[in-house]
Amino acid sequence: MFQDILVTGLVSGGVYALLALGFSLIFGVARIVNIAHTAFYMLAAYALYALAVKAGLPLAVAIPLSVIAVVAISLACYKLVIEPVRRHEAAVRIATIALGLVFQESLLIAFGGHYLGVPAIMDGFASILGVRVSYQRLVVLAAVALVLVALWLLLNRTRLGLAIRAAANDLEVANLMGINVDRVAMLTVAVSAALAAVAGAVVAPVFVVDPFMWLPPLVTMLAIVVLGGLGSLKGSLIGAFLIGLVEAITVFAVPAGAYLKGAVALTIMVVVLLVRPEGLYGVAFEEER
């Protein structure tokens, strides 16, 4: 049983990690409360469905096209919806909730409420420690590793990354230092949307595609980012795998309570907020910004 919990936990943790990295960037690092983040992941899944299944394009073409399309949409959304209310956190929150709902309802009208399947990059499965794991999930884990490296390079080895971290640290001083804060915010949204899109392309074959698929991951992402600590990519990564393991434990320990695995993640979030609000690796004290 332990191998089952370990392997299943790590594998589902991988899926969460891919989504959490993008979410952590936009929410934790750039402090833009983009509730529509997982909606971009949903858009990418549908774009992949439209390109790969409906139009019959090969995956090697459909995946990059979906990512580009979603990044383009995110830039348009940023300009039209987020930028005008950027200074008011609450307004951004409300505007992005509305954005998410608009995407949901548009997809519902365009594709119906039907559950759709997106083809996997690789078929078949491997046997790890006696537990069967599909290749697509291993692709997800590989994607997590790649994205993590790329993100680290971006944040720590490029000027844009420096600007993003500076703006996240102290917005007003970054502005005073000559950093075009609005442009940085826009690029952060684009990067995080790209991450969400990659997650959509890689994770969608593992899940089911429907117009409401953006809501459950949103809730889990919030739990993970709180657990890992706002502003810490490392924390979000570890939080994702922890939540994956906890969910696997729930299913194995209480099979009849398998439906509770989502609730367990949220309970952890509540406990963390009560006991250690900064999470595992977050900053303990926040300055006014």
Partner 1 sequence: MPRTLLSALAILGLALSAPSWSQNIKIAILGPMAFVQGENHWAGAEMARDEINQAGGISVGGKKRLIEIVKVDTNEIQSVPDATNAIERAITRDRADFLIGGFRTEAVLAMQEVAMDAKKLFLGAGAAHSKLGLNVEQNYERYKYWFRITPVKDVDLGRYVFAAMGSIAAQIRNDLKKPQPKVAIVAEKAAWVEALLKAAQDNLPKMKMEVVGVWQPSATATDVTAELSAIKRSGADIVFTILSGPVGIVIGRQMGELQLPAIAFGINVEAQKDGFWQATNGKGQYVSTLDTYSEVDITPKTVPFVKAFQQRYKKAPTYNAATYDALLVLKDAIEKAGTLEADKLVPVLEKTVHTGTAGVLEFDKRHDPLWGPGRVTGIAVQWQNGEKVPFWPNNWQGVSYKGMKPFILPKSQ
Q: What are the residues binding partner 1 (CB under 8 A)?
A: 1, 4-5, 7-9, 11-12, 15, 53, 108, 112-120, 123, 125, 131-134, 136-137, 205-208, 210, 212-213, 216, 247-248, 251-252, 255-259, 261-262
Cβ proximity to partner 1, 114 vs 159, nearer residue: 114
Minimum separation from the CB atom of position 213 to partner 1 (A) = 7
The residue among 29 and 199 lying less far from partner 1, judged by its C-beta, is 199
Closest CA to 199 of 54, 50, 39, 7: 39
Closest to partner 1 by CB, 131 vs 273, is: 131
Report the nearest approach of partner 1 to the CB of residue 26 (Å). Answer: 23
CB 126, min distance to partner 1, A:
10
C-beta closer to partner 1: residue 9 or 22: 9
Closer residue to partner 1 in complex, CB, 46/78: 46
Closer residue to partner 1, CB minimum distance, 12 or 192: 12
Least gap, CB of 273 to partner 1 (angstroms): 24
* Nearest-approach distance from CB 256 to partner 1, in angstroms: 5
Range 214-242 burial, b when 16+ CB lie within 10 A, else e: beebbebbbbbbbbbbbbbbebbbbbbbb
> Which residue's CB is nearer to partner 1, number 78 or number 214?
214
CB of 186 to partner 1, least distance (A): 31
Q: How far is the CB of 129 from partner 1 (least distance, A)?
A: 11
